[in-house]
Structure 1
Amino acid sequence: MSTRGECPVRRPADLWIGTNRGGLHPLRHGDGWSTGMPYPDAINVSFGVHSLRHDLHYLVDERDDGAIGVYRATADGWRQIARVAVDGNAPCHLALSHDQSLLAVANYASGSVSILDLDSNGLPIAPAHIFAHSGSGPNRERQASPHAHWVGFDADDRWLYATDLGTDEIRAFAVAPAPGGNRVRAAGTAFHAPAGSGPRHLLLHPHVRRVAYLANELANTLTVLVGGEGRFSAARTVSTLPEEYEGPSIVAHLAINAAGDQLYVSNRGHDSIAVFALDAKGDPRLIQHAPAGAAYPRHCVLLEDEGLMVIANEKDECVTLLPIDADGLLGPHVARVAVPGAAFVLPL
């Protein structure tokens, strides 16, 4: 995508699929949807973010000795600009501050959060600042230690939040200007989730200030949070699954439309997208469980101009595309494309 007033840059493909093996795969639309030769140098790409200011992509390499790769996509293909250690194990999520001077990293296996300052060209300045954590939860298999799973800055770049699936917490970090850049410090726990719920993904409402949504992976619930400035409280918690469903499932990803009146949650196991209508105050009302078209929908992206949701399905190792109706409901999938190790949808 280009910023307003700039000429659009031709890209090698409109969409790329990050995988836990085999690199980045292009997803193209011609007579139908298809993939092509992958870019092999981006490995274990389970998430990434794009800097409009610098036209750089920051992609995780989710290994025990994980790192962040910095890339540029051009008409001639991908080019790696830098590779920086995060001093954490299995980095799985990234966030750019809105002024694009800081890059935050959630390290799943080590449970730590890494902060990298970015220079004037958008390149990370090593070494990373590390915020370690301790603790556990009641689920011995999934919560034996901290597992940072998501990071994100608030709209004013004053607070950074991190969800910890292992300790059932949202952690808060205060961000303040300092000579030579911003200063980040640990500020404590912003929210204690119910024991064993496994908070995975937080989404701050883009228009309704002081409202956020927390996807609890192990409990298969969505919690509406209110607050800010380093503290949240629960206003309401709803299931992401149908009442009659009794099989195994875990929540994965949250997505919201540009208008802020439709919220989507992916269910791995039930293999559906739960669709919630949001009222003017951000309160959710379940309106649909749409089949994802494949097993274990892990990550999804809304392409509203095209009227499509693109889903990376973990177990079936494929991408499915679902039409989005005017009312936000999802239709049956219109395409299914095999992508080995599909984990993440990267729109350009």
Structure 2
Amino acid sequence: MTTRRDLLGGLAATTLLPALPARARSAALPALIAGTYANEGGAGLYTLAPAGAGWRVGPAAPLTGISFGVTHGAHRYLAKEQAKGRLIVTDRRARVLADVASGGDDPCHVAVSPDARALAVANYSSGTVSVWPLGRDGRPGAPTVRQQHGTGPNTDRQAGPHAHWVGFTRDARRLHAVDLGADAIFAYDIAGAVPGQPRVAWRAPAGAGPRHLAHHPRLPIAYVVTELGNTLVTLDAHTDGTFATRSTQSLLPAGFSGASFAAHLAIDARGRRLYASNRGHDSVAVFDLAADGTPRLIQHIASGGHWPRFFLLLEDQARCLVANERSGTVAVFRILPDGRLAATGQVLAVPGVVFLDRA
């Protein structure tokens, strides 16, 4: 089977922006974890320990191929990316509590429902979505696995469905799955922890390859980055779980003609700034979000390495850490009062780094 690993081979705007509302700043930096790919030199799940004004790289737990993870309470849920993928449940000290089949190939994203009663995994290469009930002890029960369907015009990347992101609605009654191969977002109605059959909630432009989604924290709006189209798409979110396109804009600067693939996006807690990473152009794009949620590009900044697959916003510490997969580096940025980023100069060596989270 051809896997996703086989297929994936600072210009700041001059507009002055008002400072964002002040947030309480904690002097203490949190300990972090970093998931890595073994085929790019990663030794496992690293610890990044606070050290002065930054972090130092600590030892790695022998959990290799961890492409993504989420932490809820005392438990951490990790996707082990491989053919016949695995979902690994650990405690906060990386002690393995459960290791179960992910329900497909190359799992790459995980989500816990807001009521903590269900957990979902996106399996990229098989195009399947798995949902587990979670017990009171946080451990997964028997999963329900759903197969998505669809193709796109890019025969190298879209010969079949490729689930890339999963997320629950705030009321935990619906699950969405972004599918790069099918050029679609699918919706699942959730009864307990059992998903219904997938239905198309939104169609992307042919060949766009949607990758990740983020909901606005206050407005009925969502944002999608398209990996193949290198665009940020703003969507109106409807109560029936469907979406409608409001606007589309490039994630790359005007005049750039090289190869690039959009990766991660995140929105600050107040819904004032949106951040997205570009692999190839090797940058983070920063957008101002207007009161109605309309994005406006305000900055491109170099990611501090090569192939920024993921980044982690630490708003209380005014920091953003960017995981540059192919250079094996984590670059540390300050979040300025207006939401833009500024390099601190600290770059940590973490071979094959692909995701970050609080420890």
Same-fold call, TM cutoff 0.5:
yes
The residue that corresponds to 2:16 in the other structure is none
Distance 2:151 2:182 in 1: 5
| 1:205-258 superposed Cα distances (whole Å, 9 cap, x missing partner) | 1111x2000100000000000023221010000100001111110000001111
* CA apart distance, 1:183: 3.2
Distance 1:183 1:35 in 2: 40
The residue that corresponds to 2:329 in the other structure is 318
* CA apart distance, 1:87: 2.0
Scaled by the length of structure 2, the TM-score of the pair is: 0.88
Pick one of 117, 134, 145 that aligns with 2:149. 134
The residue that corresponds to 2:114 in the other structure is 98
Pick one of 60, 64, 68 that aligns with 1:38. 60
Q: Which has the higher contact order (CA 8 A, sep 6+)?
A: 2
* CA apart distance, 1:78: 2.3
Pick one of 301, 304, 307 that aligns with 1:293. 304
Confirm whether residue 345 of structure 1 aligns to residue 347 of structure 2.
Answer: no
CA-atom RMSD in angstroms:
1.5
Distance 1:68 1:188 in 2: 25
Pick one of 146, 158, 162 that aligns with 2:161. 146
The residue that corresponds to 2:33 in the other structure is 16
The residue that corresponds to 1:157 in the other structure is 172
Distance 1:186 1:281 in 2: 33
Alignment of 1:165-176 (within 5 A): 165-176=180-191
Distance 1:84 1:33 in 2: 33
Confirm whether residue 194 of structure 1 aligns to residue 211 of structure 2.
Answer: no
After TM superposition, the structure 1 stretch with the greater mean CA deviation from structure 2, 183-192 or 264-273, is 183-192
Contact 2:46-2:58 at 8 Å conserved across structures: yes
Distance 1:182 1:68 in 2: 17
* CA apart distance, 1:190: 0.2
Which ranges of structure 2 fall in alignment gaps of 5 or more residues? Answer: 1-28
| 1:295-324 superposed Cα distances (whole Å, 9 cap, x missing partner) | 111001111121110111011011110111
Which ranges of structure 1 fall in alignment gaps of 5 or more residues? Answer: 1-10
Specify the SS of the correspondent of 1:36: strand
* CA apart distance, 1:333: 4.0
The residue that corresponds to 2:217 in the other structure is 206
Specify the SS of the correspondent of 1:125: coil
Pick one of 47, 50, 54 that aligns with 1:26. 47
**AA paired with 1:336?**
V
* CA apart distance, 1:158: 1.7
Scaled by the length of structure 1, the TM-score of the pair is: 0.91
Pick one of 45, 65, 69 that aligns with 1:48. 69
The residue that corresponds to 2:91 in the other structure is 72
Contact 2:263-2:308 at 8 Å conserved across structures: yes
**AA paired with 2:91?**
R
Contact 1:187-1:230 at 8 Å conserved across structures: no
Contact 1:72-1:79 at 8 Å conserved across structures: yes
Identity %: 45
* CA apart distance, 1:51: 1.3
* CA apart distance, 1:122: 1.0
Specify the SS of the correspondent of 1:305: helix
**AA paired with 1:94?**
V
Contact 1:154-1:204 at 8 Å conserved across structures: no
Distance 1:39 1:182 in 2: 31
The residue that corresponds to 2:14 in the other structure is none
Distance 1:135 1:304 in 2: 38
The residue that corresponds to 1:281 in the other structure is 292
Contact 2:144-2:194 at 8 Å conserved across structures: no
The residue that corresponds to 2:22 in the other structure is none
The residue that corresponds to 2:123 in the other structure is 107
